A and B are shown apart, each in its own frame.
Chain A
Amino acid sequence: MTEPLLQVDGLTKRFGGVVAADAIALDIAAGECHAVIGPNGAGKTTLIGLLAGEIAPERGSIRFDGRDVTAVAVHRRSQLGLARSFQITSLFADFTALDNVALAVQARSGHSFQFWQDARRQAALREPALQALDAVGLAARADARVDRLSHGEQRQLEIAVALAGKPRLLLLDEPMAGLGADESARMVAMLRRLKGDVTMLLIEHDMETVFALADRITVLVYGRVIASGDPLAVRADAAVREAYLGEQDARHV
């Protein structure tokens, strides 16, 4: 059997008395769309922080692409192909949409100690950036400043920026957060198109989305994995029904 792209083992992190990650184990195979669900405060965003490298774990290990990255800095993990989107939109707000994406392309194409050529005229940066914008349906807004984009457009741009670096693994932290029904549907359609091309770890609240997209689901409660498997198995799991979905909700899923 080939080694999973991402292999998490015994990952533990406490904030004061709160256990945000309790010996989390998780495997993601290349090409898979893996969803992590859980109620508020389950430690989902902490998990993304640990995987991206913003939070240092107390115990446990993270292997990415056959390499131990537990102690590797955020920017190095990104260079290795671990890209993320933020739950609360985090972009270069005073840049144009295109500049945001082009900078992500630039970040993956060698060092940036180039002081003289106009970076906005370099086709090697602009063309892949336009492609990524086009992939999320934002090409027409390329020259708009980010702070003038709608919330939905900013969420799309988050994905475009993450895609622009040609990541091996995309960490998506609630990409649907704050979106209306139409925008959500568009985002789901877009993620479905990406599925298969890009390995994804998707953190999501919305059950419909999760069951529509994920190949496998991991359920997190109080920082602990209580179930992990394909959607049907997770849906049928008694512990999940009790702890997370709740009997009443379970009838609807």
Chain B
Amino acid sequence: MKAARKAFGVPLPASWFTPRAALPALVLVILGLVPVYAAATGDPFALTLFGRIEILSIAAVSLNLIMGYGGMASFGHAAYLGIGGYAVGILWKEGIASGFVQWPAAIAVSALFALVVGALSLRTRGVYFIMITLAFAQMVYYVAQGLDRYGGDDGMTIGGRSSFAGIVNLNNATQLYYLCFALLLASLFLVWRLVNSRFGLIIQGARSNERRLRAIGISPFRYKLVCFVIAGGLCGLSGALLANHTNFISPAMMYWTRSGDLMVMVILGGLGSLFGPLLGTVTYLLLEEALSRVTEYPGLFIGPALLLVAIFMHGGIEGLFGARRRD
């Protein structure tokens, strides 16, 4: 490529390390050090809070793949969290405790659900797409409410975490935390590879201008559907982690406000940027945590803050730190 660029007098791209890369790097280093802090202070709460941040970051990364890169604003993404969580809970209840069964099942069922939702919703656009994805998520929510054997409306406590034949012990809080951390890094890596591949460029082309995409010879439907399924599976994994993290599943995991929270995290961090959902989730959950200590109505402050982001910060938090690479 360098030779071709030189031949046509095109300058080579700038170095990948920019001030923009510094903030996500810092956040990841801090996330990696939380267990050290928890051990030093003997305060397990940090592990719980930041573990939750990591898990929901994975869900936000998955939503960003379809919403940020693909322009598919799914308003039912929490359904996959719920399906992943219920897959773990239901299998535990039926006597299957192995994570090697539970987690693939969580991913597979979520992906399958995404296939059905996507096949029907991706033929529509704009508000209709949002409404259909929301409708499917609410449907799953009411189904979960009706599952009396698995706690119905009240939810169900899971009596044991997924077992991985002694390879990792999720009952150890530090091990569970680092597994979530590793999976967060893996999901960021996955999305990074995806969005820069041929597949990823088609997905971004579909977001940017579908008419042009057809004119150059590509019908976007199948690509968008595959992207939707990948995101569903990834969010299902996040749900499996969440069920392990809280030892609890309930329909509230997939209530529509949770889908809204996920959208807010992605938009707050910066739509369509790799680390945006991570920064958005960290900010949103820490803000929520801090505000809930001083006021009974954290939403009263988060709402206006979001309004400001929507009006003044189109690139989200990620966008504050210099121009994006390849701009």
Contacts and interface: CB of A to CB of B under 8 A. Distances in A.
Interface stretch (B24-32, B203-211, B283-291): B203-211
Given A112-B223, A118-B197, A126-B4, A91 B217 contact: no
A125 B223 CA distance: 19
Contacts of A76: 217
A112 B8 contact: no
A134 interface: yes
A99 interface: yes
B215 A117 contact: no
Contact of B5 (A84, A90, A130): A130
A115 B197 contact: yes
Nearest to A84: B215
A78 B216 contact: yes
A117 B217 contact: no
Interface stretch (A139-147, A191-199, A243-251): A139-147
Contact of B198 (A86, A96, A114): A114
Given A91-B209, A95-B205, A117 B198 contact: yes
Dominant secondary structure at the B interface: helix
A64 B326 CA distance: 39
A120 interface: yes
Interface in B293-327: 326-327
Contacts of B200: 115, 119
Given A91-B209, A99-B201, A118 B217 contact: no
Contacts of B10: 98, 130, 139-140, 142-143
Contact of B9 (A90, A95, A96, A140): A140
A75 B205 CA distance: 14
Interface of B: 1, 4-5, 7-11, 13, 193-194, 196-202, 204-205, 208-209, 211-219, 223, 226, 326-327
Q: Which 3 pairs across A and B sit closest by C-beta, in order of nearness? A: A78-B217, A92-B208, A107-B217
